[in-house]
Amino acid sequence: MRKRERENPCGVCGHYHKYEEGEVCGICGHRPPISSDRTSLQLSAFPSVIFPDFLYLGSYDNASRSELLKTQGITRVLNTVPACQNLYRNSFIYHCLQDDKILQFDDAIQFLEQCEKDKARVLVHCMSGKNRSPAIVIAYLMRSKGWRLPQSYQWVKERRSSVELSQAVYQQLQEYEQKLFGSSESINPSLPAFPPPAGAPFNFGFSKKFLRMGSHLVLVRLREVCPKA
């Protein structure tokens, strides 16, 4: 949307688009939450807690609520979207990733490790809090905790159920896992190559019939070894 079509910019992203009418910003992708559930809208104002007193994950809307962030004790912000403006430079310490396609995992993790060392609370955000910022947190878990990709993904997904990684971003995580550990568990044919939809069980690529057969065989074998089982 051209500037002359609207006198004042959006109060959240600072660009010119009809936020009140639901129009998506053509520059940074900012849009109002899509939900008819008031509870969901209220909860969306709060970032997800990945680690209490340290690591928080959220959206640009979360990052735009300075008083809420201060209430939670957040003093630093990791912005994963170059087009998103850092709104409160006088109140928070910002670190912004510069590439809008390739996620700079090592750069972001270095900032997060410094935050942890300083015992500072930090918010990691992208536009929706569903794709780029969760990927950064997952990469941080792999490097700092030594967790593999499936475990790191599950940890974040359980704490922020709205996470929806794109295939391109998930592939970057697979490559980063291979860089860290020399291999990628997700490339193993017995593991899912891409995260299943929310609520779908991890069946590791096997059919339900095969899993039922496997469970039956395990039970039979267990009874042979331990008759009282």
Strands 48-51 and 55-58: antiparallel
* Cβ 163 vs Cβ 130: under 8 Å: yes
* Token reading at 174: 């697979």
Residues with catalytic function? 126
Are 136 and 124 contacting, i.e. CB atoms less than 8 angstroms apart? yes
Under a CB-based contact definition with an 8 Å cutoff, are residues 3 and 10 in contact?
Answer: no
Beta bridge partners of 76: 93, 122
Residue 53 near residue 121, CB atoms below 8 Å? yes
